[in-house]
């Protein structure tokens, strides 16, 4: 049973706890989640089972979608409603809808964003929240993220509800805090729903309660994605059985050894490799190498993950 469950994580538990519950329910030997959701947040949380856990690092750049409600006028230390109130802005001018629209649209595109003080981003080997709990201030370096689109769903002060489509690594808590400060009244996340994480959508999720009621996992159901589906965007190559053992032992091979490449290969590109039984056995990365004559480009493929 190798693949991923599209779990609906409820608000109030950590992503780690949700993953542990799925592991217990399914009896999987290994489990891991893709794209952490804060305890307050709910929605799409892909849980990878067994051999599929090896794929997680290769799916980190997937686009995300959220519905966020911002409570304006109150600033908390965690940038959400679970934190301690550090400032309540009582005398701010209530922003007009025109002002809100102007400010919100300014965040579309590539932006520099500092991660929240209470986050799992690491600084000198330790997570930021570990420093925050000890009241130690550290330099939170801004990271470049991309907000593809923001739409206002509802606005009636002090509540602002938005739809956000963004790159992986974007902190919606930081976005809410920044929007609040730009409006001159501060703000924090009061509710957060993730509606999409790459190929995983809200419509195809399954709850922990529903998962418990099932007699095992139906790998053909919409909430489950097999390894081949998870790597559907990857170009495909086939290797002869004579080289399969070498590949599974991590030995590199050249482009001359590959059959049935599904599309033109680029340098530093990841490919999924299948055997003669149409089974994915590895993920490899292309490294350029000039031919003996130097007139044409060849490739050496380095093994990044094997599935054996």
Please say if 38 is a catalytic residue: yes
Q: Does position 101 have pLDDT exceeding 90, yes or no?
A: yes
Choosing from 38, 80, 177, 178, the catalytic residue is: 38
**Same domain membership, residue 188 and residue 110:** yes
Give the pTM: 0.88
Of the candidates 42, 44, 38, the one whose C-alpha atom is nearest the C-alpha of residue 5 is 44
**Same domain membership, residue 58 and residue 173:** no
- Local structure of residue 98 (DSSP, 8 states): H
**Same domain membership, residue 119 and residue 54:** no
Phi-psi region of 31 (alpha: psi -120 to 50; beta: other; left: phi over 0): beta
- Total domains in the fold of the chain: 3
Structure tokens at 77: 């230390």
The model's pLDDT over 237-272, given as tens digits with 9 standing for 90+, comes to 888 888 888 888 888 888 777 766 656 778 888 989
Q: Which of 147, 173, 197 is the last residue of a domain?
A: 197
Looking up residue 250, the CATH number of its domain turns out to be 2.30.130.10
> DSSP for 14-79?
-HHHHHHHHHHHHT-S-EEESS---TT-EEEEEEEEGGGGGGGGGGTT--EEEEEEEEETEEETTS
Looking up residue 8, the CATH number of its domain turns out to be 3.30.2350.10
Q: What is the domain extent for residue 34?
A: 3-62+199-229
**Same domain membership, residue 155 and residue 213:** no
Question: How does residue 293 score in pLDDT terms, banded at 50, 70 and 90?
Answer: very low
The model's pLDDT over 48-93, given as tens digits with 9 standing for 90+, comes to 999 999 999 888 778 999 999 999 999 999 999 999 999 999 888 9
Q: Would you call 187 exposed, middle or buried from its count of C-beta atoms within 10 A (0-12, 13-18, 19+)? A: buried
Structure tokens at 264: 């033109």
Question: How does residue 295 score in pLDDT terms, banded at 50, 70 and 90?
Answer: very low
**Same domain membership, residue 81 and residue 56:** no
Residue 273 CA to residue 301 CA, distance in Å, equals 10
The more confident residue out of 198 and 263 is: 198
**Same domain membership, residue 76 and residue 138:** yes
């Amino acid at each position: 049973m190798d693949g991923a469950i599209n779990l609906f994580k409820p608000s109030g538990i950590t992503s780690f706890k949700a993953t542990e519950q799925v592991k217990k329910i399914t009896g999987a030997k290994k489990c891991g989640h893709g794209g952490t959701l804060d305890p307050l947040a709910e929605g799409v949380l892909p849980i990878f089972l067994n051999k599929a856990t090896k794929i997680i690092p290769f799916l980190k750049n997937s686009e995300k979608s959220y519905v966020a409600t911002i409570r304006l006028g109150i600033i908390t230390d965690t940038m959400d409603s679970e934190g301690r109130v550090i400032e309540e802005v009582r005398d701010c001018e209530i922003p007009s809808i025109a002002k809100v629209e102007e400010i919100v649209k300014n965040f579309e595109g590539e932006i520099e964003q500092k991660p929240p003080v209470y986050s799992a981003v690491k600084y000198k080997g330790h997570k930021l929240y570990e420093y925050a709990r000890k009241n130690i201030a550290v330099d939170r370096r801004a990271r470049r993220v991309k907000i593809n689109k923001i739409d206002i769903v509802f606005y009636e002060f002090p509540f602002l509800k938005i739809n956000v489509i963004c790159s992986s690594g974007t902190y919606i808590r930081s976005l809410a805090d920044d929007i609040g400060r730009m409006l001159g009244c501060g703000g924090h996340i009061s509710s957060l729903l993730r509606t999409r994480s790459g190929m995983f959508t809200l419509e195809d999720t399954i709850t922990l309660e529903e998962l418990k009621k099932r007699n095992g996992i139906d790998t053909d159901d919409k909430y489950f994605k097999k390894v081949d589906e998870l790597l559907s965007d990857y170009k495909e190559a086939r290797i002869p059985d004579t080289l399969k053992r070498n590949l599974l032992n991590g030995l590199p091979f050249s482009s001359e050894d590959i059959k049935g490449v599904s599309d033109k290969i680029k340098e530093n590109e990841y490919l999924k490799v299948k055997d003669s039984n149409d089974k994915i056995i590895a993920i490899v990365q292309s490294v350029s190498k000039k031919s003996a004559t130097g007139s044409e480009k060849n490739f050496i493929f380095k093994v990044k993950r094997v599935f054996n």
